[in-house]
Structure 1
Amino acid sequence: MTALLEMRRIGKSFPGVKALDQVNLTVEAGEIHAICGENGAGKSTLMKVLSGVYPAGTYEGEIHYDDALASFRSIRDSEAKGIIIIHQELALVPLLSIAENMFLGNEVASRGVINWADAWARTSKLLAKVGLRENPQVPVGKLGVGKQQLIEIAKALAKDVRLLILDEPTAALQENDSAKLLDLMLELKAQGVTQIIISHKLNEIRRVADRVTVIRDGTTVSTMTKDEITEDRIIRDMVGRDMENRYPARTPKIGEVLMEVKGWNVTHPEQPRQVISDAGFTVRRGEILGIAGLMGSGRTELAMSLFGRSWGRNITGEVRIKGEKADLSSVSAAIHAGLAYVTEDRKSLGLILPEPIAKNVSLANLSGIAERGVLSRGREAQVAEGYRRAMRIRTPSVYQQVGNLSGGNQQKVVLSKWLFTEPDVLILDEPTRGIDVGAKYEIYNIMNDLAAQGRGVVMISSEMPEILGMCDRICVMNEGRIIGELSRDEASQEAIMAMILRDGILRDGILRDGAANGERVA
């Protein structure tokens, strides 16, 4: 193979921070090259240098692309050479159709008039290439995240992509959608499309990558070939040490029931369908309870509806916290009752990115920083500094904008915000999504510490090994219902999936029998 891309001695600085220092990266034509590193290691910064987000003249070093010295001053320059980057936050306009998104800024037009028939036809062909059968006129916002990710790749194909960069492409996808995306990457490789993937999912890297480059603290640590790739080697190079156990050891001390949910029912806020049906579970003091299920099983909807009824309508059921009936009629009431919820979407719903750490930490408990009814910025900074130290948030100051932090440190700020409300029960929805193995381990330690303090922790995760490695008990959800629970000793990935499949077969039989008898089945 010959090198399509060489990045030589790349350096990039921001005020007070050296983000990249003498980084070298060589990508061969036709390969899938993975870039690994902890959050904040410099992976995304390096790709922004390559794609022209950080234009020539703002960084040190050289980029050689297709045997020529490259000088990209914008994304348009890099795209003209066939370099397309797909960011973790998808750049699609939800209200526009697939076709409109596909050619946005690159419209199919003649003399200034868009040829919609041609646009729709081209869109259908591009969608077929990525395995999608969707009407080109359907608004993108009505599609799931997995399909939106494929549309982004189809957009890249519309621009005659030669080098495709995927930044955490499977972070928000369920297992089936992730597998389809990885299969597509291998198909594109067979068609000659060179690819760079940034991912924290090491099993996926082993499946598709021909080579892996590891970056740590803004410098290149190693590049390994497919035969050399092992998860232990990648982790050691990423964190600078061996990690014998992915999940910290813990001896649980489980006490009395702290929270009990009975007969919880929720209707979709916009559609006439029941999303949560007769859900019930308990959380004990000192326990980490897992909620497992496939994407769309209702896990997040259950959590959000419990937390101050912030999602859904026609909500019925009863919740008791410490034996008392809990008022969860609003978010502030839920906080007062001792409940907290860490959302799966920290950037949109969990944090105010342009604001400093200090303001984000105090946001859910302003009375905690008030003196005689007046907010004290000094007290706010003092509280935030305490959490910065306790949670090991890597930043020199609590006045740093949260948007400038790595994903793992942002997650610690979200946790700090809710811990400052002193909850009895903390619901964590995908708490380690999009963060590296080192930061994950720190989050796991925080969860263990909370349980050791006698709090109840509810963990929702799409990563089965994480659920199995961290939880004392696991409730399994399917189609909006809790269909069973497993103890730590009983639980396995096979046992969870078998429970879901059995329930699906049983429910399918009930629906068919009901339809056959002319009954209306909910």
Structure 2
Amino acid sequence: MNIRMKGIHKTFGTNRVLSGVDFELLEGEVHALMGENGAGKSTLMNILTGLHRKDEGIIFIDGKEVNFSSPSAAEQYGIAFIHQELNIWPDLSVLENLFLGKEITTGWGFLNNRNMKAIAQEQMRMLSLTLPLDQPAGACSVGQQQMIEIAKALMTDAKVIIMDEPTAALTEREIRKLFEVIASLKKTGVSIVYISHRMEEIFEICDRITIMRDGITVDTREVSLTHFDDVVKKMVGRELTDRFPQRHTIPGEIVFEVKDASRSGVFHRASFSVRAGEILGISGLMGSGRTEMMRAIYGLDPLDEGEIRLNGAKVTIKHPYEAVKLGIGFITEDRKDEGLVLDFSVRENMVLPSLFSFEDKGLINERKEKDYVDLLISRLTVKTESSETPVRNLSGGNQQKVVIAKWVGIGPKVLILDEPTRGVDVGAKREIYQLMNELTEKGVAIIMVSSELPEVIGMSDRILVVHEGRIAGEVTGHEATQEKIMTYATGGQ
């Protein structure tokens, strides 16, 4: 299937998102679509699949002009879209999610569970995924939910598959398997639109790349004819001198300490400390217990045993509210369900944890609140029409910036960051890294959980590696290598 989009324009209210974008997808190619958050990548694909209507422009498929009225119409035509924000129904089983809206029935109109299970098991086998099909999808990890979405798309027998940040929540093993599946699909003539901010993946699996910036097409070329710096410069309109800004902060005294923290069946006797001005990286494979450890420490999940100390004093944290009062912030890996109130505005989300600080004689000082929010929007370069825009209208990367902004605003002593740059473009990543450095210069202790090994190595002063619920090893930042971390992560010494 060949797709050509020419002169595509789209405006939401007074916000012009696309200004004459051109895009071409050839049969059997893996085509990278790159750009900063808010560049218009997802909007362009939503127009292709009928979720949004274009204002101007033409779409051709195999030489014929086409306009889909809905995503289901595009899917019937052979175009599937795996969205960055997961469309999982948590209370339905894995099997029910896989066949939602596409149930197979018997001649009598009853659900043919045997047939559906056989198809689902074959798909799971292809992806090397072992999940009980009758398990509620909400009980699966974010990475497993992402694989369910991928399986769902592959089951449609699509000729074109759009993948928006497909590996953001996957383990290295799952990523390898997905790449094998993509190579296999490519051989059968299936085309892939691959939207990702992970530059290494683009150069590994993609044939061509189209770069967008501020709603226009900047360049389309063969991946083999370009390189990292070229792509970054075209995406952000400037050169990034270093991927990870240099750190000059010398860590001070221990601020936050965890001793023998355990949660039955999840993690066991975790002990660690983090100093003022230090970035402590937490690495490990998906399902190792690293996120669960942070959630329990923060009071989101119960701790069975263990001791937490802040500035040497023992503290009790059984609820996130208690953590916030102590000056501890937590940026969750699940921004959609846990990090944001999607129907609230950018302003309302940013001031949620620090609303009390704008109080003046029992009333909110709106001028003080607005100045504060405007400063954060400017500092984190959040692309939004205004501070009153509902946060659900922002791109995924800009939503992530709002999550970070709301915790920076409380003036934290300790900041836990779980996948802080997931779904964030390379330019915005550097801005977040720079902000982390500025916070540590002010004495904030940062704990950063990340699946991206270059990020962990590039930003951490020390790295703890978690394996099967236990801290398997510690590596200092200057001696860290991907091989050393992966050895600990897989149970080696």
Counterpart residue number, 2:271: 280
Counterpart residue number, 2:61: 65
The TM-score, its normalising length taken from structure 2, stands at: 0.94
Counterpart residue number, 1:116: 113
Q: Which amino acid aligns with 1:311?
A: D
Counterpart residue number, 1:232: 229
The answer on 1:353 being equivalent to 2:342 is yes
CA 1:487–1:385 in structure 2 vs 1: closer, same or farther (change >3 Å)? Answer: same
**Cα distance in structure 2, aligned partners of 1:424 and 1:147:** 33
* More displaced 10-residue stretch of structure 1: 111-120 or 444-453: 111-120
**Cα distance in structure 2, aligned partners of 1:284 and 1:28:** 52
The answer on 1:11 being equivalent to 2:9 is yes
CA 1:20–1:325 in structure 2 vs 1: closer, same or farther (change >3 Å)? Answer: same
The sequence identity of aligned pairs, in percent, is 43
Alignment of 1:75-474 (within 5 A): 75-109=71-105, 110=107, 112-132=109-129, 136-267=133-264, 273=265, 275-307=266-298, 309-314=299-304, 316-474=305-463
Q: Which amino acid aligns with 1:36?
A: M
**Cα distance in structure 1, aligned partners of 2:18 and 2:351:** 33
* More displaced 10-residue stretch of structure 1: 90-99 or 337-346: 90-99
**Cα distance in structure 2, aligned partners of 1:481 and 1:99:** 32
**Cα distance in structure 2, aligned partners of 1:4 and 1:304:** 46
Superposed displacement of residue 457, structure 1 = 1.3
Larger radius of gyration: 1
Secondary structure in structure 1 of the residue aligned to 2:479? coil
Secondary structure in structure 2 of the residue aligned to 1:95? coil
**Cα distance in structure 1, aligned partners of 2:321 and 2:93:** 38
Q: Which amino acid aligns with 1:470?
A: M
Alignment of 1:472-511 (within 5 A): 472-501=461-490, 504=491
**Cα distance in structure 1, aligned partners of 2:350 and 2:332:** 15
The Cα offsets for residues 202-228 of structure 1, whole Å up to 9 and x where unpaired, read as 111111111111111111111111321
Is 1:327–1:337's contact at 8 Å kept on the other side of the alignment? no
> Any stretches of 5+ residues in structure 2 without a counterpart?
none
Q: Which amino acid aligns with 2:461?
A: D
Secondary structure in structure 2 of the residue aligned to 1:222? strand
Is 2:37–2:395's contact at 8 Å kept on the other side of the alignment? yes
* More displaced 10-residue stretch of structure 1: 157-166 or 447-456: 157-166
CA 1:292–1:106 in structure 2 vs 1: closer, same or farther (change >3 Å)? Answer: closer
CA 1:334–1:164 in structure 2 vs 1: closer, same or farther (change >3 Å)? Answer: same
**Cα distance in structure 1, aligned partners of 2:441 and 2:460:** 13
The Cα offsets for residues 32-61 of structure 1, whole Å up to 9 and x where unpaired, read as 111011110000000000001114xx4210
CA 1:341–1:79 in structure 2 vs 1: closer, same or farther (change >3 Å)? Answer: same
Q: Which amino acid aligns with 2:316?
A: D
Superposed displacement of residue 125, structure 1 = 4.0
How many residue pairs get aligned? The number is 492
CA 1:320–1:104 in structure 2 vs 1: closer, same or farther (change >3 Å)? Answer: closer
Is 2:20–2:216's contact at 8 Å kept on the other side of the alignment? yes
Superposed displacement of residue 291, structure 1 = 1.4
RMSD of the alignment, in Å? 2.1
CA 1:61–1:380 in structure 2 vs 1: closer, same or farther (change >3 Å)? Answer: same
* More displaced 10-residue stretch of structure 1: 322-331 or 76-85: 322-331
**Cα distance in structure 1, aligned partners of 2:423 and 2:326:** 30
Q: Which amino acid aligns with 1:310?
A: L
Secondary structure in structure 2 of the residue aligned to 1:468? helix
CA 1:455–1:403 in structure 2 vs 1: closer, same or farther (change >3 Å)? Answer: same
CA 1:364–1:483 in structure 2 vs 1: closer, same or farther (change >3 Å)? Answer: same
Is 1:261–1:318's contact at 8 Å kept on the other side of the alignment? yes
* Bigger relative CO (Cα 8 Å, ≥ 6 apart): 2
